[in-house]
Structure 1
Amino acid sequence: MLVHWFLAAVHLLAFALGFWAVVTRGTAFRRLAAGTGEARSVLIADNLWGISAVILLITGGMRAFGGYEKGADYYLHQPLFHLKMALFVCILLLEVAPMVTLIKWRIALGRGAAIDTSRAKQFARISHAEALLVLLMVVAATGMARGVAFG
């Protein structure tokens, strides 16, 4: 029972960290676009966003399919789980361009080269949209936890 509680707590805390990190990354992108920020702030927030994503995947997978919660059958037949996974896929699709760009930034900065910040404002909007999707995932998760059913 303690493992169930621990996994649930870590999973929820990872949502909080992820939300904070992606909002912070968006704000750092916006500051960078305005000429008042620095790439380092974007990269630190992005690291935390990535760490939260890994924690969410591991704890979510264990909870849904590792026998620690209601079981795979429950989740696979729960519309809110499908909504949560659809939101997750949307986040992944939105994340492709910022992720590729930030990898290029890390390589360039490691070599002492300049980075192209021309898309920083666009990536700020993407980050804030992802934050909204994270909030919607939490809403779906709370519905699942309460056994909300449709149909």
Structure 2
Amino acid sequence: MLFRWLLAAVHLLAFGFALASILGRSRLLRRCATTADLPAVFRADAGWGLSALVLVITGGMRAFGGFEKGGDYYIHAPLFHLKMGALLLILLLEIAPMMALIRWRVALKTGKTPDLSRAGRFARVGTLQTVLLVVMVVAASGMARGIALAAGAG
């Protein structure tokens, strides 16, 4: 019981850290004009990546590791599908910013100047990811309260 509680707490805290990190990265990317701005962007990005990893691991453990209601419950819950759909979109949207930030890190380490022209675009992607993260939290809170999104459910 104690482990389930701690696992749930870590999972919920990771949502808070993820939200703060992606908002911070987006804000920093919006203002990113020179390579001097990149260390702060990289720190926020690392926080985003770490919190996302914690979310995926703790979420997987909770849903399919026998610590919560069980995989069968989640597989048949429409809100779980909404939550996983939002997660999938977040991950797909992350591909371009992640690849660019990796290239920027490599460029800096090799003494080159990275092309920061897409920083604003990546900030907008982060804003969309923020909305999807909120969708995940809303779906999770509905699942925790047993809300069903089926015809005739109320």
Could you tell me the TM-score, scaled by structure 2's length? 0.94
Equivalent position of 2:79 in the other structure? 80
Instruction: Say what the alpha-carbon RMSD is for the aligned residues.
Output: 1.3
Matched, 1:101 2:106: no
Equivalent position of 1:146 in the other structure? 145
Question: What percentage of residue pairs aligned between the two structures are identical?
Answer: 55
2:10 & 2:134 partners in 1: Cα distance? 16
Equivalent position of 2:27 in the other structure? 27
How far 1:113 moved relative to its partner? 1.3
Question: Aligned partner of 1:61: which letter?
Answer: G
Q: Where does structure 1 lack aligned partners over 5 or more consecutive residues? A: none
Could you tell me the TM-score, scaled by structure 1's length? 0.96
Matched, 1:123 2:113: no
Q: Where does structure 2 lack aligned partners over 5 or more consecutive residues? A: none
Query: 1:68-108 CA distances to partner (integer Å, 9 max, x unpaired)?
Result: 00000000000000000000011011111000000101111
How far 1:150 moved relative to its partner? 2.2
1:26 & 1:73 partners in 2: Cα distance? 37
Equivalent position of 1:8 in the other structure? 8
Query: 1:20-71 CA distances to partner (integer Å, 9 max, x unpaired)?
Result: 00000000001114x6x70111111000000001100110000000000000
1:12 & 1:140 partners in 2: Cα distance? 13
2:127 & 2:43 partners in 1: Cα distance? 16
Q: How many residues align?
A: 150
1:111 & 1:50 partners in 2: Cα distance? 23
Displaced runs of 4+ in structure 1, greater than 2 A?
A: none
